[in-house]
Amino acid sequence: KIAVAKWFALLGIQNTDSSTTADVTLVFRTPGVAAPAATITGISIPPQSTYYLNTQTSTLPEVTGLGDWKGSVEATATNGVKLAGNSIQFNTNNLTKGLHNALTTSEQANKFYLPLMHSQGSQTPGFIGWLGWLAILNPTGTDITVDIALNGTNLATNSPLNTTVNNLLVPANSLVEFQASQAPAIGATTRWKGSVVVTGDSGATFYAEMTNARLLGAGKTNVYYLYKGLQSGSATTIYFPYFESTSSYRSWRVIQNAGTVSTDLTFTFYNFDGSVAATTAATGVPSGGFSEIFAYNETNGPGKSWSGALKVESSGSQPIQGYATMCNDGALASSSFDLCGTYLGITE
């Protein structure tokens, strides 16, 4: 995303090679449009150096000519040098900001698991709460379709609400954004929360990532976090090297069952000296479903003044995926959060 509704981006591309200059081309792609919106060529990045592009201050005609635009950016080293990169998105109205890690070609897949998505009444006037946006990027030259399975709960009735959106078109070389409210069974005003599984048609590969944003209204700092879609694997144990449950920093863990049958989860909290601070559990997590737990108020958890490491194990050889989100409980946000960060669990 570059600039729309006071949103701007700082894009960083690093040349990871120690001796060769990277010859880089940037391609800007508009959602739903196969042809590039703009292309910047001839970018030379010296060895182990970084190229920065600030879309708020850039005078490049390719960038300024885009106007009020959002989409995806593709960075390619035409001479084969390996690159790394990310972008920081920020909003000048309410100081909302977040980090987007670059996706590499090896991260394309036919199926992705996204442990948590919010849709708490996205079209309600004056909405305040959490919202989720699923981004699906097709980097190939062929149109594809995907099925989106949403497994969750109607928060108003506390009852299961599972549905699937079939054959969503993702055009060639393009990005599609999806909200759970687009599913007819959920709709524009239902307060829903759940997990997502995205499956492409036969042979199709794509990228998927999730953004969950907390909208708080005028005078407060909105926050959001983003995480990459997780590929199906065989890991039954995942680790979070740092996890915190204090009055200053609040942590959530979200674990999705990527297996074929339900599973039980065991959470082991370790102090920094390796001793066990607490052990808790979640039972009966369905296939494709998720467990979300706020550690600060967790029954029999590590308490409200703890930090350390966390190990998550599943039962019955069912593979799991997950991430942890940590938010600071800051005064700047008027009894909310100043900033949230997320990282994926590490597998063995």
What is the mean predicted confidence (pLDDT) over 102-130?
A: 79
Task: Report the mean per-residue pLDDT for the chain.
Answer: 86
pLDDT value of position 233: 74
Closest CA to 4 of 31, 35, 41: 31
Q: Whole-angstrom Cα distance, residue 309 to residue 268?
A: 8
What percentage of the chain's residues is helix, strand, coil (to nearest 5)?
5, 55, 40
What is the mean predicted confidence (pLDDT) over 297-325?
A: 90
Residue 28 and residue 34 in contact, taking contact as beta carbons nearer than 8 Å: no
Residue 306 and residue 269 in contact, taking contact as beta carbons nearer than 8 Å: yes
Q: Specify the amino acid at residue 19.
A: S
Residue 138 and residue 171 in contact, taking contact as beta carbons nearer than 8 Å: yes
pLDDT value of position 243: 87
Q: Indicate whether 42 pLDDT > 70.
A: yes
Closest CA to 310 of 235, 241, 236: 241
Residue 139 and residue 34 in contact, taking contact as beta carbons nearer than 8 Å: no
Q: Indicate whether 71 pLDDT > 80.
A: yes
The share of the chain scoring above pLDDT 70, in percent, equals 89
Q: Indicate whether 51 pLDDT > 80.
A: yes
Residue 171 and residue 33 in contact, taking contact as beta carbons nearer than 8 Å: yes
∠ at Cα 178 (128, 28), nearest 5°? Answer: 110
Q: Whole-angstrom Cα distance, residue 43 to residue 242?
A: 38
Give residue-wise pLDDT tens across range 197-246: 999 998 899 999 998 887 766 555 567 778 888 887 778 999 999 888 88
pLDDT value of position 112: 93
What is the mean predicted confidence (pLDDT) over 78-94?
A: 84
Confidence of residue 334 (pLDDT cuts 50, 70, 90): very low
Q: Indicate whether 191 pLDDT > 50.
A: yes
Q: Indicate whether 331 pLDDT > 50.
A: no
Give residue-wise pLDDT tens across range 161-190: 999 999 999 999 888 999 999 999 998 888
Closest CA to 195 of 250, 238, 132, 129: 132
The share of the chain scoring above pLDDT 90, in percent, equals 50
What is the mean predicted confidence (pLDDT) over 32-50?
A: 92
Closest CA to 135 of 98, 162, 187, 186: 98
Helices (H) and strands (E) in the chain, counts: 1, 24
Confidence of residue 114 (pLDDT cuts 50, 70, 90): very high
Q: Indicate whether 127 pLDDT > 90.
A: no
Tokens of 145: 């379709």
* Cβ neighbours of residue 290 closer than 8 Å, sequence gap 6 or more: 115, 116, 151, 194, 195, 254, 255, 256, 257
Would the CA dihedral through 347, 240, 230, 137 be positive or negative? Answer: negative
Give residue-wise pLDDT tens across range 245-301: 887 777 889 999 999 999 999 999 999 999 999 999 999 999 999 998 887 778 888
Q: Whole-angstrom Cα distance, residue 261 to residue 250?
A: 31
pLDDT value of position 25: 96
Q: Whole-angstrom Cα distance, residue 130 to residue 10?
A: 25
